[in-house]
Amino acid sequence: MSNISCQRVSFDFSHQFLPGVYITVFIVGVIANGFGLKSLFHNWKKLKFINIFVFNLGIADILYLLTLPFLVTYHALGSKWIFGDVFCKITRFCFNLNLYGSIGFLTCISVYRYLAVVHPVGIMGRITRSHSVIISVMVWILVCVQIIPDMFFTKTYRNRTGKCYETTSTFYVKDYLKYSLGWTLTGFLIPLFIILGCYGHVVVVLCTRNRVDMVQKQRCLKLLFILILLFSVCYIPFHIFKNLNMKARILAKEHLCQEWFNGVYIAHQISRGLVCLNSAINPLIYLHGNEELHKQLRRVSQMISGRKQSNPSCTITMQPADGDETT
């Protein structure tokens, strides 16, 4: 700890790391989510209750993916935002909408899966498609209520030639940390505890009941694995290092220097890259919950395996002429 000026944090890492991650997530995410949403649209009348949440999950992903080219440009220019203050706030709003909207709809999917396993007759028989639509609207409203205060914090520095802050400028960071901690509690920790409670009970039921359908059991365990992957890789590191990085900025502003400042900054940038992967991992939910998509993938797999099986007979019956090259 020292009362002199703190050593300047190196921002080069984010310019080198994040653009490549954003480009990869944009390509994979647009293809995967586009394919999944197309499949859902083609089978809209067959949608089950959970698939309505999956559809909203895809919308949240697309909204964020469309902002990634602008973030790539921002980091390629060395943290110089050229698109104006309003669009900077819109870009950050879409990120938060995707992040907490995804967590919200994953929570809904987990609760519905819990009800389907633990209370298959008593509760699930009373739930209609309209209930899922109403719950989806409520999730969007709650997420917007949580993230709208973020729009009132300063996001840019020196207008069109400065930074587009993920949080806010150093001048307001102390107030933003208080808001972020409350936001982390309501938007992340509470949904996480709900998901853990639901799947903890589901696992107990699946392991103790002998009459549980094996297909249902496998699907529940696969979804549990996807959620563990999302939270452990994408969500948990981001929330930890986001708040730690803001704490480091506050201490640096007060000239209370610590050796871990630069390490926390780098860890936070890595967590920012990991959290955007949720837009590329979320389509696994399509594969898990969409029966029609399963059938399409089986047809493709059968076509490929059929071609492979037919190749040996083709190579035996069709001999290349002298001087020709085999393919």
Print pLDDT tens along the chain (327 aa).
444 556 666 667 777 888 999 999 999 999 988 887 877 777 666 656 778 888 899 899 999 999 999 999 998 888 888 888 899 999 999 999 999 999 999 999 889 888 888 887 777 667 788 888 999 999 999 999 999 999 999 888 665 557 889 999 888 999 999 999 999 999 999 999 999 999 888 888 887 876 666 766 777 777 888 888 889 999 999 999 999 999 999 998 888 888 888 889 999 999 999 999 999 888 887 766 555 555 554 565 566 555 545 554 433 333 333 333 332
Q: Encoding tokens for residue 13?
A: 């890492």
Per-residue pLDDT, 321: 34
| Contact between 261 and 252 (Cβ < 8 Å) | yes
| Contact between 179 and 146 (Cβ < 8 Å) | no
Rounded-to-integer distance, Cα 18 and Cα 116, Å: 40
Per-residue pLDDT, 3: 46
Pick the CATH number of 12-288 from 1.10.10.10, 3.40.30.20, 1.20.1070.10, 3.40.50.720: 1.20.1070.10
Torsion of CA 114, 116, 119, 123, to 10 degrees: 110
Closest by alpha carbon to 17, among 237, 238, 264, 269? 269
Rounded-to-integer distance, Cα 45 and Cα 98, Å: 26
Rounded-to-integer distance, Cα 59 and Cα 298, Å: 26
Rounded-to-integer distance, Cα 271 and Cα 196, Å: 22
Per-residue pLDDT, 209: 73
Mapping DSSP to helix (H, G, I), strand (E, B) and coil, where does residue 1 land? coil
Rounded-to-integer distance, Cα 96 and Cα 60, Å: 10
Place of tokens 């999302």: 230
